[in-house]
Amino acid sequence: MFYKEWIKTRWALLLILIVTCGYVGYELLNYLRAIGAMGGAHIWIAMITKDEPMFVRHLQYIPMMAGIALACVQFFPEMYHKCLKLTLHLPCSHLRMMFEMLGFGLVALLVCFGLNYLILWLGMRPSLAPELYGKMLLVALPWYLAGFAAYLLSAWIILEGSWSRRIFNLVVMFLCLKVFYLSSFPGAYVPFLLCLVVFVLACILLPWISIDRFKKGIE
Amino acid sequence: MRKLANIILGIIVALLVVWELPWLYNNYAVSFLHGDEIGGQPFTLYSGLADEFIQNTEGQGRRGISGREYTVEEADSLLPFFWTTQLVNAGRLPDTIRGYAVSPQLIRQTNINYHRRAYDTHTNRPNCCLWLLLESLPKRVNLEDPDDAFRFTKDGIEFINMNTGKVKPKKSKLFTDALVKKGFAFPVHELDGNPDTRKEYDEGYLLIDNNRKMYQMKMTAGQPFVKKIDLTDETVVPKFIFVTEFRSRCLRGMMTDENNVLYVITPNYEVKPLGGGIHYDPTQSNMMIMGNMLDWTIRITTEEAEEFYAVSALDHSLLKTFIAPYRSNPYLPGLHFTETLDRWVKPRFN
């Protein structure tokens, strides 16, 4: 199942990896250019005194879009070419197959987002105190969690057969993702991060509702 | 599994409904249905000449809390420290006010405009735990940005060179020793300072140590200046502390204790209850002080009311009080993730 998903999504994954890492690189270049032009002390002062997501601001919606894009690439063909019907006829547990498909996507996003974080950390670590680069990594964390949530909720919508239910799901998805973007104040989400992780984990089960309805032939 | 998935979806939808519906009602319907019940008090200032609070009313009118109506010109004359430019333009600024000689320059120098919002309090917001200490006796006229930042550790203070990211061991030891010498107990419990270089002078940081004792720390000609601030009443336990840095230098700062009583720290480091013990919880209330050389108007906005206190600027005694409870609360309770009082994002039901 993992191999099948890999064949289906490899080029899209490569593109997602290039785009997300490209944006991270762009932010890092901005940061290095600012240090070169104004000096490290100026950047430190700005980061200490301003409560803004400096140097990660442009990343805000990138993980979310990456999650939606991966879900589209992975699940649109299943619905469009009716592959899901064939998959569900395989002599395997349907639940296990769904978890394997979603697990592949989540692992792929984890690798991609992990690489983003690694680049950010390596780029900022040499010239910033842990308190300052920690502040930037922390502000981006809900955005990356939104990436995982967007992937799972998009899968839930795409796998749904009925259009009216898809619209309902879309509204739920929009409101759920709004929770990840309520504040860009660095560190504001710290008391809420665990709840967001639990929410993302709970979302793994939602596509099962769509698959179950699909099996029943609801379109 | 289908049942569990549906339960999860049900919970998510229920949470979204109790979040979004009250939000829609509170943001769009309340102003239509209860427009006259919401909104706080109009702009209110204490007039020492009239000995009452004067409010702006709709249009151009002014009204005293006693119910007396004033014309705009009358109100200007009764609030000469606030409407100074207007009075100067009209040639009506007196030479003396309540026996004190005044001039536009003196009024500008001694007027106070201080705001402290609940989300400024350290417990109500995330902190990166790095601070900037300015040189309070700069060689040039203006204050300058430092080239290092500092952090408090559990047994000292560390200065970090902002260009290299390396700790400055010599300066760190110098300041740690100066604090220890004065009896400072690490780690720091609470601190406040203002590293803005556009201000007129620098008072450094006001600190509360682990034993709940207060100190002032600043850098003077590169050397640490540490002053212990003693309380005359030993039963008072400081909780929050604020640097004020008013242009007139009439205060070192303010503090609140465990019972949320507000105190001022005078230029000679005396700690006195403001207005005989005004209550102010910095985590739950916003405070605004508009003052002059003779009296201050303090507005404290709590959940239940807007409280106005007039306090003498000369001896910090209470002159007048005006408590304006909110008329009603037309807002629907619901799930919220953000609040105006703090900067945290977390679920709360109110």
- Among A134, A115, A111, smallest CA distance to A124 is for A134
Instruction: For chain A, list residues whose CB is within 8 angstroms of any CB belonging to chain B.
Output: 39-42, 44-45, 47-49, 51, 95, 126-129, 131-132, 134-135, 138, 172, 175-176, 179, 182-183, 185-192, 195, 199, 202-203, 205-206, 208-209, 212
Rounded alpha-carbon distances, angstroms, from residue A75 to A82, A147, A166: 10, 16, 14
> Distance between CA B282 and CA B279 in Å, rounded?
10
Distance from CA of B224 to the nearest CA of A (A): 21
Q: Which residue has the higher pLDDT, B110 or B32?
A: B110
Distance from CA of A155 to the nearest CA of B (A): 14
For the cut 80, the answer to whether the pLDDT of residue B151 exceeds it is: yes
Enclosing H/E stretch for B131: none
For the cut 80, the answer to whether the pLDDT of residue B329 exceeds it is: no
Q: Which residue has the higher pLDDT, B275 or B31?
A: B275
* Residue A102, burial from CB neighbour count under 10 angstroms (0-12, 13-18, 19+): buried
pLDDT band at A93 (very low <50, low <70, confident <90, very high): confident
Within chain B, residue ranges assigned H as helices are: 2-24, 30-33, 72-78, 84-89, 104-110, 169-181
The single-letter DSSP state of residue A180 is: G
Interface of B with A in 330-349 (CB under 8 A): 337-338, 343-347
Distance from CA of B193 to the nearest CA of A (A): 11
> Distance between CA B53 and CA B138 in Å, rounded?
42
Beta-carbon contacts of A84 under 8 Å, excluding residues fewer than 6 positions away, are A78, A159, A211, A214
Order of strands, sheet of B238-243, starting from the edge strand that comes earlier in the sequence? B238-243, B253-257, B262-265, B271-273
Interface A:B, Cβ pairs < 8 A:
110
Candidates A40, A95, A172; nearest CB to B12: A172
Token digits of residue B74: 């009358």
Candidates A134, A138, A208; nearest CB to B2: A208
Token digits of residue A132: 């300052």
- pLDDT tens readout for residues B24-62: 998 888 777 776 666 788 899 999 999 999 998 877 788
Q: Are A92 and A31 within 8 A, CB to CB? A: no
Distance from CA of B6 to the nearest CA of A (A): 7
**CA-based nearest residue in chain A for residue B14:** A172
Averaged pLDDT, A27-38: 92
Distance from CA of B87 to the nearest CA of A (A): 38
* Residue A39, burial from CB neighbour count under 10 angstroms (0-12, 13-18, 19+): middle
Averaged pLDDT, A98-107: 92
Q: Which residues of B touch A51 (CB under 8 A)?
A: 125, 343
Asked if B128's CB is within 8 angstroms of A48's CB, the reply is yes
Q: Which residues of A touch B345 (CB under 8 A)?
A: 182-183, 188-189, 191-192
Q: Are A124 and A56 within 8 A, CB to CB? A: no
The sign of the dihedral angle between the CA atoms of B100, B105, B110, B112 is positive
For the cut 90, the answer to whether the pLDDT of residue B103 exceeds it is: yes
User: Where is average pLDDT lowest: A51-65, A109-123, A127-141, B58-72?
Assistant: B58-72
> Distance between CA B14 and CA A217 in Å, rounded?
27
Averaged pLDDT, B296-317: 94
Q: What is the pLDDT of residue B37?
A: 67
Averaged pLDDT, A96-117: 93
Averaged pLDDT, B181-194: 95
Question: Considering its fold, how many domains does chain A have in total?
Answer: 1
Asked if A192's CB is within 8 angstroms of B2's CB, the reply is no
User: Domain residues for A91?
Assistant: 2-215
Strands (DSSP E) along B27-155, which ranges?
Answer: 44-47, 52-56, 62-64, 69-70, 96-97, 100-101, 112-116, 148-153
**Of all residues in chain A, what percent carry a pLDDT higher than 70?**
100
Interface of B with A in 114-143 (CB under 8 A): 125-132
For the cut 90, the answer to whether the pLDDT of residue B118 exceeds it is: yes
Averaged pLDDT, B16-24: 94
Asked if B1's CB is within 8 angstroms of A205's CB, the reply is yes
> Distance between CA A59 and CA A144 in Å, rounded?
9
For the cut 80, the answer to whether the pLDDT of residue A90 exceeds it is: no
